Structure formats: structure tokens, C-alpha cells
Amino acid sequence: MKVLWPYIKRFKSQWLMMFIGLLLSVTTLMAGIGLLSLSGWFLSAAAVAGLTIATAQVFNYFTPAGGVRFLSIVRTASRYGERLATHEATFKLLTDLRCWVWNKLMPLSAKNLQGIRRGDLLNRLVADIDTLDHLYLRLLTPLLASLLMLVGLYCFVSWFDTKLALTLCGILFAVWLLLPTVFYFLGRQPGIAQLETKRQFRVQLLEYLQGQAELTLFGAQNKYRQRLNGAEKLMLASQSSMNWVTALSQASLIVCHGLAVLVMLYMAASGVGESVPPGPMLAMMVFMTMATIEVLMPLAGAFQHLSACSSAAQRLNEVVEQTPDIVFATNSQFSVSEGSIELTNIDFGYDPQHSVLQQLNLHIPAGAKVALLGQTGCGKSSLLSLITREWLPQNGKVMLDGRDAAAYCEQALRQSMSVVSQRIYLFSGTLRQNLALALDNSSRKDDDKLIAVLQKVGLAQLLQGDKPLDTWIGEGGRQLSGGEQRRIGVARALLRQAPLLLLDEPTEGLDKQTEREILALLFEFAADKTLLMISHRLTAMARMDTIHLMERGKIRCSGNHQQLLQQDAYYASLHKVLA
């Protein structure tokens, strides 16, 4: 239960609705047991009363019949109300839990999440949180309701016969205590295996669907499909094992309940309290014991839900209990206004044993236009991630406007930068929604601005119909080509007025003519801004104030376009090939 405690503490926000749900659940059980008990007594008493004319005439048929109808109505109404209350509390708890987990996840850096696959993270945010709805709905509420019902049942039966009350409630309490415990340990490994295989299947299925283009291109689709089929077989096998344990628990519950009925039948046959022979009281006790099956039913699945909730909570705890690797200043009043960048004695590696950047020094004055060139793996993108504080260097300092980047609060740091990364992230929504991310406070009044920027980046063909910005682009922008997706990324940058413009391969996937047009647009936009661009291509290098050539985590040489053509043979050969 220790692993579940952080999530149980979240229940206090919905304590009233949870209490109402618990109260109605107990009322439903009481009405159900009372209904069957009264019905059993009524039928038996009516049969006994009908043995003679005298007893038949004095027997009150109306009060028990009214009680049966009343309990039927109460049971139906309380069951309906219990469903409404418990599900309302569950949905609100899930909403609160998702927000809490998301708020814990947001401050985590790339280093914190290193090693967690995207599909696995998605599974934790969706499936594991959904699993935790069992914690209240199918675990705590039924178990607490059944325990309270046992107390009430003892009080009621002891009114007639204390010995029968102790026997009945003792058997039921032993079942309540032992059955979930025994089958929790029996089903723990199958339960964990079921959740783990389901997680692995979901992760592989997500990767299989998202990677169709690459799998087809490299001829690996059949091989990956076989792996997916293998994961599915393991999932089905684990479900079969879990179903066997579940069936065994239900059978054990039925056997225990049957034994309780037999024991109560045997003991009540000798008399119930002062009723000797017991007559209708015997029927009431036996029918009451039969009705307790509704109290015991949640116990059959309690072990399974406990195992699932514990496993889900453990995986979520691996994320939410992490301490953020990068901590921003909280009450800082500093802001980046000029846009100068300075990196001093930077050592960095994703794995400390393997350096990506080594003793790197770089100074970019405010308003300068600077390019970083080099082969893949030389550390260009890593350097950019240090400037944006996505990662922290092992040694050295990153300075913005002459001040340590750690001195800025996160909001001030983010507002100081416009970033066009290698991968453009698009969301399942409209053009307006995907562009409005770049604006602090977006409204319909900004539509003209959004349309103008789309026309600037060459996406006028997307503006169709009476409401052009309501064009649906699909999940991940799948309705758009790669070039169109990249242009939307550029359009976002043009909508932000930040002193720093950071570009990581901004024209990748575009033809040369379009590349020149987009770069001309970016240079015009960044006339009074600091521009840092990472590129493999030499387009627009003549417009750069400084070009740094990187190699093996260091800056090998620097200069403007003309200087490098004369001084560096590699740059000159590269220009001859790519120009």
C-alpha cells in the first residue's frame, strides 16, 4: 500500500462525493440483504400462517409486502445513485490525477526522461492512470462497504441470536480478510506479467504505426510485424494465466459462501434465539446468508485490481518522484533584451563517460548572424540544447546578456527565444491552433496576422474556403507534406518577437529556390535580432557575420564566408560541391 499512498492522498479533494458513494453503496447492500431476508421470512411465515384458519385470518400480509416493495425501491434508487456518485468521483479524481502527473512531468528535463521511450511514456500517462480508477471504484469503496456491512449485519443478527451473529460474521470476515490476501500473492506475478506484456504490446504497436514509412523503406515491415505478433501472443498468454487465477478465486468465493449457508442452516435449525423451533426465522437467517454473496462478490476481483493498481502506481512513481535535473530561478526579474550569447569552457556529454563538447568557447554579440557548420555528431545540436537549457553542461557556463542562464526564470528564458528545430511538432487540430502556440494571447483578432505569415512562408494554398484557418491538418500534420510542416515551423518563429532566433536545419527538405526564399525571409525578420543557425548546407553563408566550423566537439576554425574560402580547404571544397 505504500506505493499507492501518494494517490490515496489525492482523494481528499473529492472526499464528499466519495463519502456519498460509500454511503449509497452500503445502503444498496443493506437493502439487498434486507429484501431477500424479508422475502424469505414472509414466504415462510405466510406458509405457516396458512396451516390454520385462525392464524391465516390474523396474519398481517400487508406490512411485509409493503416492506418488500419499499426495499426494492430503495435498492434500485441507491444502486443508481451509487453509480452516479462513485463514477462522478472517479472521473474527477482521474482529472485531478492527470493534472498532477502532468505538472510533475513538465519540469523534468530530457536527462530525467532519458531512456524512457515515447510510447512507454504515453502508456504511463494514459493506461496507467486509467488503471488507477480501480483504486477507488473497484477496490476501496467495495471493500469498505462490505466491511461496514459486516458490522451492521452483526448488530442486526445479534438482536435475534448472538451465537449466530458471531458465526455468520466470523465466517464472512475470515473470507473478507483471507481471500483477497491469498489470491493477491497467487495473482501478483500473472498480474504484473499481464500489465507488462500489454504495455510492451502498446509501445510496439505505436512504433509500428508511426514508423510505417521507414519500415517500408528499409524492408523491415514483415520482421517488425512478427515481433508485434510475438508481443501479442505473450499478452494473450498472460491474460489467460490471469483469467485462470480469477476463475479460481471466484470458485473459492462460491465454495466459501456455500459453506457459510450450510453452517447457518445447520445452526439455525436448532433455533434462533428464543424461537424454538425456528420456523420463519430459520428461513430469514438462511436467506440472509444467501444474500451476503453480494457483499462478498467484490472480493473475487480485489486482488487483481490491487495488483494492477500497485504496478501502475510504481511505474508512475518512477516519473513523478524524480527531482528535476534543471531548476529555474523562481522570483527572478531578469529578462533577455539584447540577445548576446557566451559559452565558456563547456564540457558536455549525454553520457558523462563520452564527451560531445570539450572545452568549447563561443561568443555571439547581440544582433550578430552566426552559423555553425560541421558533420553529423560534431555537437551542433547539443550546443543549441545547452543554450535553450534543455540540457545542462557538466562544466562551464552559458551566459545570456552577460548573465548566467540559470539566473532567468523559465518564462523569461522561453520568451527570449524563437526556435525552429529539426523536427516540427504539429498537433491534431486546425491551422489556427497550431500557429497560435507562438502567440502569448491568441484571439480571433489575430487571424489577419496568421494569414499574412502563412502567405509569407508560401502556404497560401492551405488557405481555402470561408474559414481558411480552420483547415484540419490531422495528427502530427499528416495532411501536410514534410516541406509544408517545416514552413509552419518557420511561420511560428515569424510570429514571435524574441531577441534570439535559433535555427536548427530550418530549410531541411526544401528545394534550393524555396530554401533561398525562406532564408531571405528569416534574415529580414532577424534584422535586429541575434541569429544562430545550424546547417549542413552553405546557402546564405555569405550573409553571416561569422561561421564556425565544428569538429569532434570543438570549434576548429572561424571566420566569415570569404575568409573561410581562402583559409580552409575543407570549407572551400564543400562550397564547390554544394553551392
For residue 259, what pLDDT band results from cuts at 50, 70 and 90?
Answer: very high
Whether residue 444 is predicted with pLDDT greater than 70 in this model: the reply is no
* Residue 203 · residue 231 · CB < 8 Å: no
pLDDT reported for residue 439: 82
Across 462-553, the runs of DSSP E, i.e. the strands, are 500-504, 530-535, 546-551
Q: Cell triple for residue 226?
A: 512478427
- Digit-coded pLDDT (tens) for 385-401: 999 898 889 899 999 98
CB atoms within 10 A of CB 162: 12
Distances, alpha carbon 90 to alpha carbons 99, 108, 132, 145, 195, in Å: 14, 27, 9, 16, 21
Q: What CATH number belongs to 336-416+502-510+534-579?
A: 3.40.50.300
Q: In whole numbers, what is the pLDDT of the chain averaged over residues?
A: 85
pLDDT reported for residue 55: 67
Dist CA 326 CA 108 (whole Å): 7
CB atoms within 10 A of CB 27: 19
Residue 342 belongs to what H/E stretch?
strand 341-348
Q: Three-state SS for 343? A: strand
pLDDT reported for residue 206: 81
For residue 321, how far is the Cα from the chain centroid?
15
Same fold, 2-320 and 336-416+502-510+534-579: no
| Highest-pLDDT range among 68-77, 326-335, 490-499 | 68-77
Q: Where are the domains of the chain?
A: 2-320, 336-416+502-510+534-579
Whether residue 261 is predicted with pLDDT greater than 90 in this model: the reply is yes
Sign of the dihedral defined by the CA atoms of residues 108, 505, 484, 442, in that order: positive
CB atoms within 10 A of CB 19: 12
Q: For cell 448488530, what's the residue?
A: 155
pLDDT reported for residue 25: 93
Helix axes 293-320, 280-291, angle to 10 degrees: 20
* Residue 472 · residue 430 · CB < 8 Å: yes
pLDDT reported for residue 578: 64
Class of domain 2-320: mainly alpha
Q: What is the mean pLDDT of residues 356-381?
A: 88
Q: Cell triple for residue 263?
A: 453452517
The closest alpha carbon to 75, from 125, 130, 105, 33, belongs to: 33
Residue 419 belongs to what H/E stretch?
strand 417-420
Distances, alpha carbon 181 to alpha carbons 2, 306, 341, 419, in Å: 16, 10, 61, 55
- Digit-coded pLDDT (tens) for 233-250: 999 998 898 889 888 888
- Digit-coded pLDDT (tens) for 423-442: 888 888 888 888 888 887 76
Dist CA 394 CA 396 (whole Å): 7
- Digit-coded pLDDT (tens) for 523-579: 888 888 999 999 877 888 888 899 998 888 888 888 888 888 888 888 888 777 765
For residue 28, how far is the Cα from the chain centroid?
34
pLDDT reported for residue 153: 92
Whether residue 475 is predicted with pLDDT greater than 70 in this model: the reply is yes
> Are β-strands 395-400 and 341-348 bridged in parallel, bridged antiparallel, or unpaired?
antiparallel
For residue 278, what pLDDT band results from cuts at 50, 70 and 90?
Answer: confident
Residue 147 belongs to what H/E stretch?
helix 141-158
* Residue 26 · residue 145 · CB < 8 Å: yes
Of 127-131, 412-416, 527-531, give the lowest mean pLDDT range: 127-131
Question: What is the Cβ-side half-sphere exposure of residue 515, based on CA atoms within 13 angstroms?
Answer: 16
State residue 29 phi and psi, 5-degree precision: -65, -40
* Residue 282 · residue 295 · CB < 8 Å: no
479-511: b or e for each residue (b if 16 or more CB lie within 10 Å)?
ebeebbbbbbbbbbbbbbebbbbbbbbbbbebe
Q: What is the mean pLDDT of residues 81-108?
A: 89
CA dihedral of residues 56, 59, 65, 66 (deg, nearest 10): 150
* Residue bearing the bigger pLDDT, 32 or 59: 32
CA dihedral of residues 248, 251, 252, 253 (deg, nearest 10): 120
Q: For cell 528535476, what's the residue?
A: 324
* Residue bearing the bigger pLDDT, 442 or 229: 229
* Residue bearing the bigger pLDDT, 81 or 577: 81
For residue 320, what pLDDT band results from cuts at 50, 70 and 90?
Answer: confident
pLDDT reported for residue 275: 67
pLDDT reported for residue 279: 76
Dist CA 158 CA 156 (whole Å): 6
